Amino acid sequence: MKGPTDPLSRLRRALLERGAACWGRLWAWLRTHGRDVALTLLIVSGLVLYLDRPERVAQWAAAGERWGALLHYGGLEESAARFEGEALLRPPADFSASQLAALATFGGALEYLGADTAVTAGADGAAHLWLRTYWRCPDGAGDYRVRYTWGRSGAGMALAAHDLARPAVRSGDYVIDHLLLPETAAAGVVAIQVETGGALLPVHAARLPVEEETRLSIWQR
Amino acid sequence: MGLSFVLAGAIFVGYLLALRRRFSSLSDTAVAAMLLTVAQIVVTQRLLALCGWLRGGPVLWLNLLLLAGLLVLLAARRHLGPALRAIGSRLVGFVRLLARAPLALCLVGVLAVVMGAVLWQAIVLPEGSYDGLAYHLPIAFSRVQHGDMRVIPAWPMWISSYPEHSELLMTWGVLLDGSAALVDAVQWAFWPAAVIALYALARKVGMAPAPAVLGSMLLGFAPAVLLQAQVAYNDLIVAALLLMALDLLVERAILPTVLAGTALGLVAGVKYAGLLVPFAGGAALLLSDMPWRRGTRFWPRLAALALPVLLLGAPWYVVNWAAWGNPLWPFKVVLGGRELFPGLWTAGALYSDALDPRYGQVPAVLRAPFFWLEPMATYHYEARYSGLGILWPALGLPSFLYLLTWWRRLRGPALTVALVGVGGAFLLTPNNWLARYVLFVLGLGALGVAGVLHAGSRWARGVARIVLVGGIVYTLGAAGPLGTAAPGQLDAAARTPAGLRSTLGMADTAAYRWLDENTPDGARVVYGLGLYFIAPLWEGDLDNQVLYVEQRIPEFWHPQVARLQTDYVFVETHPANAWIGRAPGWTAVYRDSRFTIYGLDAVELPR
C-alpha cells in the first residue's frame, strides 16, 4: 500500500513519524532519568524554599558571630570578667536589687544578712573559692572585725581561723566582705564571729536560734 | 559521678552478650540490648519505689545482682566466650566495611566527635531548660526525696500525674552519682541508639551498609537532636524508642516483637502523647502482617506486642485514674462531645497558645511543612519553630518520595512497618508541627537517603552525597556543636570544680542562689502556687527537702506548713502572698521583684 503522494501529506506524515520518534526517545529518557530529574528538582526546590528566606541572613550572621567568638577565643584571661583581680569562673549573685533581712544581729546594731560565693581562676591554675558575706553596718565598715573559722566541727577538731584586718567594701545599703577560702573549706563549714575589743559581741538572735559565742554556720557544701 | 553511666553500660554489655545468638545482626542485638537496659533501669527503680526503697544502695545492689546473675547464667551455658568473640568479629567486620566507604567512615567519625562534645557540655553545664526545671527534674528529685511512689502533691500539676519513665532515668543518675550533674544527659544515650536503629531498619528495607550509615546521619545531625541530647526533656527518648520498636517489629519472631512492645510500653510511659504511639506500632504490625492472608502470625505477635505495652505503660494511667478519677489528669477527656473524664483543660486548650499568633494564618494541615522550612534564625532546645534542619526539606523529604518509586524492588514489609509506624505516630501526635515532638519523622528521610544512595543512578547518588555533606556542614555551622553556650561560659564551667557547677546559672536568679548559700543542709523548703522553676529549690546535691503547699487559703496553709516542719517558704513576690510575712513566726529574709523567701523565726511555732 502506497502512502500519500501530495507534498503536504508527506510532510505531515514525516512530522508525525519524527514526533513519535522524539516522544519515544523522550519517554525512554524519562523512564531512565525521570526519577533523577524529579529528585533533582525536588532537592533544588527544597534548597531554594529553605534558603530563600529573610531568616537565613540573620541565621548566617548569628552563626558567623558564634564561630567568630569560638575561633577568636583567647581564653578566660582575656574574655572573662574579673573578681578580686582574677578571671571569674562562677559569678556571684547580684543582690543589689534585693532586700536582705538580718539573719542575726550583733551588738544590737551590726546585722548579718547572708552569704554568697564566687569562683575564680587563680594565677596558680587552681580554682579559687571566694566567700562573700553581706552586712548592714550602721556605724561604718571599719568598726567591727569579723572572724571566720572553717573546718569540720565536732569534739577535738581544730578549726582554722582567718582574721580580716582590712575593712569590708560598702556597696549601696550593704557592706560586703570578701574572703578567699582554702580548698579544704569548700568541703566543710564556715563559721562567723564578730569581735570588738578582743571580746565576742553578745548576739541577739533575730532569725536564727543563735546564742552568745555560737558560731553561725552560714555556708555549707 | 559517672557510676550511673558505667553501670548502665555494663548492663548493656551483659544483654548484648546474652542476646547475641538471638539476632542475626549486631545492630539489632545492640538495639535489643539497649531496650532491655532501659527497661531494667525503669522497672527495678519502680519496684523498689513501690516498696519504699528507692535509694542509691538498693538500686545499685539490685541491678548488680541482676547483672551478675545474667553473666553467671551465660558463663554456665558457656555462651560468654563465643558471644564476646562473635561481637568482636562483627565489630571488626563493620569497621572494615566502613573503611571501604570513606565518606561513611568520615561522617561516623564527625558524629562521634559531635556526640562527645554534646555529652561534655551536658556534664559541665548545669541543667537550665524550662520544662526540665519546671517538672521533669522536680518529679525525679521528689522520687529521690521520698523514696517511694506516692502521688506527689505539687505545682505545676504535671508533677503529680505525669508518666515517669524518663524521670526514672534521671533518678538513676541522681541516686547512683549522688548529684544531679548528669540529669541533662539523660537523653544522650538515645541519640546513638536512634542512629543505630535507623541503620538497622535501612538494612532490613534492603539497603547496603554504607548507604544505610549515610542515611542515618540525617537524624544524627539534626539540630533539634543535638540540642535535645543535652537537656532534661524526653522527646529524643520518644523518637529513639519508636524507631527501635519499628526496627524490631520488622522481625517476624516473637522475641523481637516482645522487645518492640517493650519499647512502645516505655514510650507510653514517657509522656501523655506517648500513649498514642503504640497504636501506630499496632497499625504497622497489622498492615505488614496482613492477618487476612494465610500463614501469618499476627495474633500471637499482637499479643506479644500488647502485653509489654500494658505492663509498662498502663500503670501510670491506672494510678492517675485511681488518684484523680481521670487516667489523663489534668487533661479533660472528651469523646464525641461527651466528657468521659473531667479535667482542667483539653489538649487543644493547653496548646492553644503554643503557636505564635503571627503564624495563626497558616492552615493547620500546612503548619508542619511550613515549619520544616524553619522561619527562625536560631535553634533552641525547645525546637518549636525549627529544629529538623536543612537536610529534612532539602534531602530527606525528596529522597523519601524518590524511595517510594522503588517500592516494588524493596522489601515491602520492612518499608510498610517504617512508613505506617512513623507516619501513624506523626498523624497521632498532637501539634505535630512542633519539631521536637516528631523527631522520629526524620527516620523516613533517613530511609529515603539510604535508598537513593543504594539504588539511585550515578547522578542521584552524586547529588545526594553532595547535599548530605553540604547539609551537615551547614547544620554544624548554623547550630554548632557547642549549642547556644558561648566559649567563655564553657571554659569557665569546665574549670569550675564539679561540686560548684550546679549553681552556675543561678547568679541571674539571685533568690535561688541565696537559698542555696544560706540554708543549712536538710532545710525543709515549702514553695507555693505560681512558681515554675522548682528544681533549683533542691540545690545542686539535693541538700534540701522540697514540699508544696498551696498558699491561697491561710487557714489551710498554717497547719500544713507546721505539720511539714517547714524552715523556709519560697514564693513569688506578689501582693496576694504578702500575708505570709504577717503570719506569726514568719519573716521575709530575702525579697526581690520576682521572689520572696520567708524564714521561720527562732520562736518555735506550735507543731
Q: Point out the residue among A39, A50, A114 whose CB comes nearest to the CB of B514.
A: A114
**CB atoms A47 and B394 under 8 Å:** yes
Measured from the Cβ of residue B65, the count of other Cβ atoms closer than 10 Å reads: 11
Whether residue A130 is predicted with pLDDT greater than 50 in this model: the reply is: yes
- E strand residue ranges, B84-148: none
Q: What is the mean pLDDT of residues A107-124?
A: 82
Bridge pairing between strands A104-106 and A110-121: antiparallel
| Mean pLDDT lowest among B120-134, B150-164, B345-359 | B345-359
Backbone angles phi, psi at B18, to 5 degrees: -70, -35
Residue partners of B491: CB distance under 8 A and separation at least 6: A73, A75, A76
Whether residue B257 is predicted with pLDDT greater than 90 in this model: the reply is: yes
pLDDT by residue (tens digit) across B13-26? 999 999 988 998 99
Best of B395, B474, B589 to substitute, by most chain A Cβ atoms within 10 angstroms, is B589
Whether residue A201 is predicted with pLDDT greater than 70 in this model: the reply is: no
Whether residue B429 is predicted with pLDDT greater than 70 in this model: the reply is: yes
Mean pLDDT of chain B: 91
Is the distance from CB of B104 to CB of B96 less than 8 angstroms? no
Bridge pairing between strands A199-200 and A203-204: unpaired
Cβ of residue A68 closer than 8 Å to a chain B Cβ: no
Q: What is the mean pLDDT of residues B280-299?
A: 88
Element housing B548 (H / E): strand B545-548
Between residues B404 and A208, the one the model is more confident about: B404
Residue B301 confidence class, pLDDT cut points 50, 70, 90: very high
3-state secondary structure of B399: helix
Q: Point out the residue among B457, B517, B601 whose CB comes nearest to the CB of A116.
A: B517
Alpha-carbon torsion (B432, B433, B434, B438), positive or negative: positive
The number of residues making up chain A comes to 221
Instruction: Specify the pLDDT at position A206.
Output: 41
Bridge pairing between strands B524-527 and B545-548: parallel
Percent of chain B having pLDDT more than 70? 98
Q: Which residue of B has its CA nearest to A58?
A: B377
The number of angstroms, rounded, from the C-alpha of A74 to the middle of its chain's C-alpha atoms is 18
* CA–CA separation, B596 and B561 (whole Å): 16
* CA–CA separation, B114 and B482 (whole Å): 9
Residue reference for cell 513501690: B50
pTM above 0.80, yes or no: yes
* CA–CA separation, A168 and A134 (whole Å): 10
Instruction: Specify the pLDDT at position A174.
Output: 75
How far apart are the CA of A17 and the nearest CA of chain B, in angstroms?
31
Instruction: Specify the pLDDT at position A208.
Output: 46
The interaxial angle of helices B190-205 and B209-220, nearest 10 deg, is 140
Q: What is the mean pLDDT of residues B345-368?
A: 85
Instruction: Specify the pLDDT at position A165.
Output: 47
Q: In what order do the strands lie in the sheet with B586-591?
A: A99-100, B586-591, B595-600, B568-572, B524-527, B545-548
- Determine if residue B337 is left, alpha or beta; phi over 0 gives left, psi from -120 to 50 gives alpha, anything else beta: left
Whether residue B449 is predicted with pLDDT greater than 50 in this model: the reply is: yes
* CA–CA separation, B271 and B164 (whole Å): 8
Grid cell for residue B357: 499568633
Residue B413 confidence class, pLDDT cut points 50, 70, 90: confident
Whether residue B165 is predicted with pLDDT greater than 90 in this model: the reply is: yes
Is the distance from CB of A133 to CB of A192 less than 8 angstroms? yes
Residue reference for cell 519496684: B47
pLDDT by residue (tens digit) across B474-527? 999 998 766 778 899 999 999 998 888 887 777 668 999 999 888 877 889 999
Whether residue B201 is predicted with pLDDT greater than 90 in this model: the reply is: yes
* CA–CA separation, B490 and B16 (whole Å): 35
Instruction: Specify the pLDDT at position B350.
Output: 78
Residue A205 confidence class, pLDDT cut points 50, 70, 90: very low
pLDDT by residue (tens digit) across B564-599? 999 999 999 999 888 898 888 888 999 999 999 999
How far apart are the CA of A5 and the nearest CA of chain B, in angstroms?
47
How far, in Å, are B213, B224, B471 from residue B390 at the CA level? 19, 11, 6
Q: What is the mean pLDDT of residues B261-289?
A: 95
Grid cell for residue B588: 521575709
DSSP B345: B
**CB atoms B495 and A209 under 8 Å:** no
* CA–CA separation, B274 and B193 (whole Å): 18
Instruction: Specify the pLDDT at position B467.
Output: 97
Which residues is A170 bridged to in the sheet? A175
* CA–CA separation, B31 and B165 (whole Å): 18
How far apart are the CA of B374 and the nearest CA of chain A, in angstroms?
7
Percent of chain B having pLDDT more than 90? 69
Q: Point out the residue among B394, B486, B507 whose CB comes nearest to the CB of A91.
A: B507
Q: Which residues of A touch B405 (CB under 8 A)?
A: 35
Instruction: Specify the pLDDT at position B3.
Output: 94
**CB atoms B401 and A42 under 8 Å:** yes
Grid cell for residue B174: 541522681
Q: What is the mean pLDDT of residues B139-158?
A: 93
Letter for the amino acid at A191?
A
Whether residue A207 is predicted with pLDDT greater than 90 in this model: the reply is: no
| Mean pLDDT lowest among A121-125, B156-160, B275-279, B446-450 | A121-125
pLDDT by residue (tens digit) across A149-198? 665 544 333 444 454 445 566 666 677 777 787 666 665 666 666 665 55
**Residue B156: cis peptide before it, omega within 30 degrees of 0:** yes
Q: What is the mean pLDDT of residues B127-152?
A: 94
Grid cell for residue B353: 497558645
What dihedral do alpha carbons B464, B465, B468, B470 form, nearest 10°? Answer: -120
pLDDT by residue (tens digit) across B42-98? 999 999 999 999 999 999 999 999 999 999 999 998 888 888 999 999 999 999 988
**CB atoms A36 and B459 under 8 Å:** yes
Residue partners of B378: CB distance under 8 A and separation at least 6: A59, A62, B386, B484
pLDDT by residue (tens digit) across A27-78? 888 888 888 899 999 999 999 999 999 999 999 999 998 889 888 998 888 8
Instruction: Specify the pLDDT at position B412.
Output: 74
**CB atoms A207 and B599 under 8 Å:** yes
* CA–CA separation, B234 and B166 (whole Å): 6
pLDDT by residue (tens digit) across A1-23? 566 778 889 899 999 999 999 99
